[in-house]
């Protein structure tokens, strides 16, 4: 077997193993989908009336791409906690003692977590449609929007894989990632327009890739106000390109780094 074929075959075995867990522990999927539903409902009905938007768009349309982005980015933190758990339980030791591909455990993990994100995003989209969100673009653009969200989250998964390998305690991984992911998603255009931010924070938010993935998704779903000006910052002018650049950089850095760390890591 060529080494690429071997890596793919091993990764498929690990992906299957991770997805079996989802099937056996339905609570996982219930909580993975309940919290986004809760967020959609809370923001839509609690903040929806208080946030000033330019005329021509309702808050549900503005909100949903933001919730999508926040949810898939949070979804990718599962990768870190799961890797830490495997490490704690000695499974990583077992895998490392097998003559299998050195990348397969991480590929299988991140792919399975991307699968979970597909489920979450589907549930959220359906909830969104129920509370007034609409896709006002072509099917191709809409699919592009979903793919961009998933690809960006996939890259974050690799970053979280490294965190899981280094931190080694699932609870700590969770807390640590909340500390990073909350500011990143809230200091963005996900829930409120950037015009309301103080200037320093506004600049940060403009260059924050979470803002651009949200902006790109809004454009691809047709959830922007036609003719309304887009902020002048370069990332927001080219949100899809800027997001893909970040995705590529994160993958280029964290795939090799995580695999390298995995090769040297051991339990306890």
Partner 1 sequence: MPGSSVAGMTDAIVVEGLVKRFGATTALDGVDLTVAEGSVLGLLGPNGAGKTTVVRILTTLLAADEGRAEVAGLDVVRDADEVRAAIGLTGQYAAVDEYLTGFENLEMVGRLYRLPKTEARARAGELLERFDLVGAANRPAKTYSGGMRRRLDIAASLINRPRVLFLDEPTTGLDPRSRLAMWEFIAELADGGTTILLTTQYLEEADRLADRMVVIDRGQVIARGTADELKAQVGGERLEFTVTDAAALPTMVEALRPLGVDEPNVDVASRRFSMPVSGGADVLAEALRRLDGATAQIFDIGLRRPDLDDVFLALTGHAAEDVATDDEQPAEPAVSGGVR
Among 57, 103, 172, 230, binds partner 1 (CB under 8 A): 172
Alpha carbon separation from 203 to 114, 195, 239, 251 (Å, rounded): 30, 10, 15, 25
DSSP string, 86-116: HHHTTHHHHHHTSSS-SSHHHHHHHHHHHHH
Evaluate whether 184 touches 213 at the Cβ level (below 8 Å). no
The C-alpha atoms of residue 181 and residue 252 are separated, in whole angstroms, by 21
Token couple for 250: 């994160």
Token couple for 188: 């963005």
For position 256 contacting partner 1 by CB under 8 A, the verdict is no
What's the closest the beta carbon of residue 125 comes to partner 1, in angstroms? Answer: 28
Evaluate whether 15 touches 106 at the Cβ level (below 8 Å). no
What's the closest the beta carbon of residue 161 comes to partner 1, in angstroms? Answer: 13
For position 31 contacting partner 1 by CB under 8 A, the verdict is no
Using the minimum distance from each CB to partner 1, give the nearer residue, 58 or 261. Answer: 261
Token couple for 202: 């506004």
DSSP single-letter state for residue 44: I
The C-alpha atoms of residue 149 and residue 233 are separated, in whole angstroms, by 21
What's the closest the beta carbon of residue 73 comes to partner 1, in angstroms? Answer: 23
For position 141 contacting partner 1 by CB under 8 A, the verdict is no
SS3 11: helix
For position 8 contacting partner 1 by CB under 8 A, the verdict is no
For position 21 contacting partner 1 by CB under 8 A, the verdict is yes
Token couple for 17: 């193993």
Site string for partner 1, 193-212 (x = CB under 8 A): --------------------
What's the closest the beta carbon of residue 4 comes to partner 1, in angstroms? Answer: 14
What's the closest the beta carbon of residue 174 comes to partner 1, in angstroms? Answer: 13
For position 96 contacting partner 1 by CB under 8 A, the verdict is yes
For position 4 contacting partner 1 by CB under 8 A, the verdict is no
Reported in sequence order, the residue ranges of 153-266 that DSSP labels E, i.e. its strands, are: none
For position 13 contacting partner 1 by CB under 8 A, the verdict is yes
Contact residues for partner 1 (CB under 8 A)? 1, 6, 9-10, 13, 16-17, 20-21, 24-25, 89-91, 93-100, 104, 165-169, 172, 261, 264-268
């Amino acid at each position: 077997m060529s080494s690429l074929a071997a890596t793919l075959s091993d990764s498929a075995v690990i992906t299957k193993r991770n997805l079996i867990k989802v099937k056996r522990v339905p609570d996982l999927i219930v909580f993975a989908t309940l919290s986004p539903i809760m967020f959609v409902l809370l923001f839509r009905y609690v903040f929806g009336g208080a946030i000033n938007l330019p005329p021509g768009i309702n808050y549900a349309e503005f909100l949903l791409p933001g919730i999508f982005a926040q949810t898939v980015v949070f979804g990718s933190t599962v990768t870190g906690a799961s890797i830490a758990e495997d490490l704690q339980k000695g499974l990583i030791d077992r895998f490392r003692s097998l003559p299998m591909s050195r990348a397969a455990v991480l590929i299988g993990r991140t792919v399975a977590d991307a699968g979970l994100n597909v489920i979450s995003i589907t549930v959220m989209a359906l909830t969104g449609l129920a509370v007034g969100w609409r896709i006002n673009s072509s099917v191709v653009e809409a699919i592009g929007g979903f793919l961009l969200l998933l690809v960006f989250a996939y890259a974050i998964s690799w970053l979280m894989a490294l965190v899981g390998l280094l931190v080694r305690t699932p609870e700590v991984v969770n807390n640590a990632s909340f500390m990073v992911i909350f500011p990143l998603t809230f200091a963005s255009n996900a829930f409120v327009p950037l015009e309301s931010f103080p200037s320093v924070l506004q600049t940060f938010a403009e260059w924050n890739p979470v803002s651009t993935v949200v902006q790109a998704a809004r454009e691809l779903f047709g959830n922007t106000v036609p003719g309304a000006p887009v902020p002048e910052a370069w990332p927001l002018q080219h949100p899809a390109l800027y997001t893909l650049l970040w995705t590529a950089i994160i993958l280029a850095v964290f795939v090799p780094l995580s695999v390298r760390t995995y090769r040297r890591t051991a339990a306890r």
